[in-house]
Structures are given as C-alpha cells and as structure tokens.
Structure 1
C-alpha cells in the first residue's frame, strides 16, 4: 500500500516514472471518465447493496424455520452461486440477457414487453443487468452469516415473547434484528467494500459499455494500466480513491450502527 501511494505521486509509461507530486490527484478533478466510473460504482452501491442485504436477511429467516422441509437443499442451492466461476456465470448472464436471449423471450411470452429490451446496449438496462448478476451471486454468501447468527439466538427468548403475546413481526423487529446487528454491520461493510471494487461482472458481461455507461472504478484502473497507454502512477491515484471511499463509508456505517469499539 505504501509503494502504491508512492507510485501515485509519479507519472510516466512503464517503469519510466518521474515524481509529479499531487498532479495525479488534481487530474482526478477534471477527469470525466473517472467521474462517470465513480457515479456508476455509487449507483451499484446504493441500489444493489440494500437489496442484497434485505434479500439475504429475508431468505435466512425463511430457511431458519424448524418446520421447513428440505432446508439443506435450499441453503445449498442459494449458496452455490457465490462459488461458481466468475467467467462462467458472466458468460451465462450475457447469453440470458442478449437481445434474443431467454429473458427477452420470457418477458415477451408473458406480454410484459412488446419488443426485446436492449440489455447490453442501453445505459440504464446495462446497469440493471450488472445489479441482477451481483445480487444473484452474493446474496447466498450473506445469507450464510445471517443463518449462523439466527441459529445462535436462544429459542427461549422467542418462547418468552410468544407467552407475552408478541406477534411474529414484533419478534423480528424487537428480537431478531437487534441481536443480528453486529452481523448486519459486518455484511454491510464487506458488501460495500466488494461493490466499490466491482470489476469481474462489468468486465465480462458489459465490458463497461455502452460507452462508459457501466464502467466501474476498478475497471477504469485496469484500463489505465493495461488497455490505454499504461500510466501506473495515475492508476494508483485512482485506486487510492477506492481506499478513501471504503474508509469513509465504513466509518459512517460504524457511526450509524452505534458501534464505538
């Protein structure tokens, strides 16, 4: 990390770098591609992370029901996406959301749409495709943490609540959520960090397109290093913006959660 910061204070191609001070950081302020990448990444963060956290929490509560049959199957099925090959599942998603792909055919058959949606060539729908892909992949991962937390809650607490006449809804908001607070904080921080570093799905599904409509900060770093004329100094400066964003957002999340440790 120290070496990366030193590199961010230099500029030049390959190993032929010279010290330029804070010039790379000043360049960020006028770099429209960087601003677009930051905007796209924050869109993914603001939209996808809450959806994924709530969905994982909801599914974990359902699968923690002691009367549910086939719990092992459902838990495994929902967890499996996060251990699949990134490239393999990205290729499948790209096929599913192609103009003549299964999703368009399905929506047209049930008359939700009258013409195919341009998932890959529309700035709006390209982002939606990425959000669907990463939600599908990582919801099961977060679900496992919530399941572990739920199974460590003493059942006698719920029994006492039932005796006092508390409904299932009141039990969820007054018992389950408060006791899962540390895990919710943990999954929120890790999901935020992961989304700010989002690269694989965008690279393999949309390629950052159309134009730079779905480009993320990490993909822009890759482009600066290997696709455009290599500029490792500026790429390192861009990478440090991710570090700053993760630190700031994590501190905010700790503050909102009321965790002073």
Structure 2
C-alpha cells in the first residue's frame, strides 16, 4: 500500500469518527424506541383501576391490531387527518408556487423582496399552540368574529363554530396553511433560483409564452423540491396533533370529526395502554411509509 492510499484510509477514518455522535443519538433516541414500540404492540400491557393495577405484559400476538381496526375507529381518525391535511396543503402549495415564481422572476422588479420573504416566513416561527389559542379565542361564542358579525347584522345570536364539522376542520386546515406556506415558498424559491437562466433565455428567443416557460421548464425542474415538500408535508400532516388538540380542547369535536391519529395515540398513552399505543404507532409507521412511497413513485414517473 503506497503513501497516497494510506492518506485516503486515514481521511475516511476521520469521517467515521465524526459520524459517531449522530449514530449514538440515532440508536438511543430513535432506533431503540422504534424497536421497543414494535415489541410492545404484540403484548397486552395496561394499567387498570385508575392506574393502580398493572395488567401484563402478556404476549397476545396481533390482537392489539385487531382491536384498533374493529373497535378503535382508526380508519375514521385516519380519514379525519387526511381531510384536514389536504384542505391545508392544496392552498399551501398553490400559494407557495405563485409567490416563489413572483419572487424569482427578475422582470417583475418587486421592491422590498427580501422584506416580504422574511414576513411570509415569520408565521412558521410562531408556536402552533399559540396559533390554536388565537383562533380559538377569535371564533369563540363571545369572540370578536361573532361580535363583528352581530354588529354588522349578519347574525342575531352567536354562532358556535366549534359545533360545525366544516368550520372546525376548515379553521384547523387554515391554521396549518398559515403556518407552513412561508416555509414552502422559501424552499420552492431556492429551487427556482437554482435553475440555469440560459434555459429561460433560450425559451424567450424561441418565442415561448410565460405559461409555457412555467409548465415546460420551471415545474419539471422543480420536481425534486416538490417531491421533498409533498413527502415532508404528508409526514407532518399524519403527525398533526397540537392544533386540533388545543383548538378542540382535546375532544376532537364535534363528534370526533377532528380527532387525528396522534390524538388517538395520545389518549391511549395517557391512559397507559402501551399495547394499543404500540399497535397504533406501528400502523402509523406503515401508513406513512406506504403513502410516502406512493407520492415518490407518482412524482418520479418518466414523462
């Protein structure tokens, strides 16, 4: 082995050394809890009599999974989660693409571009719980929305927005849209600014319209960023918890139509039903993996 190859081996060794902290943290805080959760999903293990009496752990195979599908309404909560995610994601991606395209187009000459980019990102820095409490206060029976509506003569009595499924889901979706559209805009803008300007110049010389440039050049080259945004947003949507939890005071109302998968999981973990909680976590892990793979495969099809 010559001196050059020895130096390469030493350099690679330092790379592995720098990876050790990440590997240790990953094993302790992610891999071990994941394996433990899968293990617990096959056992009956909960606390009865108000947490005084411990039952189990007792191996019961796939009984926990049968329970959550036959008695736990997990598919209902999955549908609730997906409806609120879609209601928030569709306007989020449309508005983000439009804003990113405006910011990336030098011909528009938008004044104060950096200021507006900072402003639209600011809602992402505010805690979700603060947003949920704000909108809960706004749409309460004695809140300013009802007050203004009565002042304008639109309604005679206060309207209970939290008792209407459409309004409750819509408000939760709007909160998620408001929190994340700025982050999505910045990601898409970074992708658009990375596109070679010579492609746009060539299209302009060929007489392409602005819509043709957008759909034939910008969007196809943005596909990797769009895939990343869709998958990360999907994973975040499946983990939706804090906004509906606070906005509905943990009830998932009205009639559990805003109860999400994580809220359902939290109720079982709060009651210390580790077996059912583990089964729900495993099902969520599988759902997330399958949906992410579908999104990835759908967006990477060859034209």
1:6 paired to 2:48:
no
User: In the alignment, is the contact (CA less than 8 A) between 2:87 and 2:170 conserved in 1?
Assistant: no
Runs of 5+ consecutive residues of structure 2 not aligned to the other structure: 1-33, 48-53
> In structure 2, which of residues 194, 217, 226 is the aligned counterpart of residue 184 of structure 1?
226
TM-score norm. by structure 1 comes to: 0.91
1:223 paired to 2:270:
no
User: In the alignment, is the contact (CA less than 8 A) between 1:198 and 1:216 conserved in 2?
Assistant: yes
1:150 paired to 2:192:
yes
> In structure 1, which of residues 23, 33, 42 is the aligned counterpart of residue 63 of structure 2?
23
After superposition, the Cα gap between the structure-2 partners of 1:183 and 1:117, relative to the gap in structure 1 and judged at 3 Å, is farther
Higher relative contact order (CA 8 A, sep 6+): 1
Q: What's the offset of the Cα at 1:107?
A: 5.8
Partner of 2:171 in structure 1? 129
Q: What's the offset of the Cα at 1:20?
A: 1.1
User: In the alignment, is the contact (CA less than 8 A) between 1:97 and 1:129 conserved in 2?
Assistant: no
Runs of 5+ consecutive residues of structure 1 not aligned to the other structure: none
Q: What's the offset of the Cα at 1:164?
A: 1.2
Q: What's the offset of the Cα at 1:203?
A: 0.8
Q: CA offsets per residue over residues 136-170 of structure 1, 9 Å max, x none? A: 10111111110110111122211221121111111
User: In the alignment, is the contact (CA less than 8 A) between 1:78 and 1:140 conserved in 2?
Assistant: yes
Q: What's the offset of the Cα at 1:117?
A: 4.4
> In structure 1, which of residues 39, 42, 46 is the aligned counterpart of residue 79 of structure 2?
39
Report matched runs for 1:54-65 at 5 Å.
54-65=94-105
Q: CA offsets per residue over residues 95-128 of structure 1, 9 Å max, x none? A: 12223434445566778x5465432121221111
Larger Rg over CA atoms: 2
Superposition RMSD in Å: 2.0
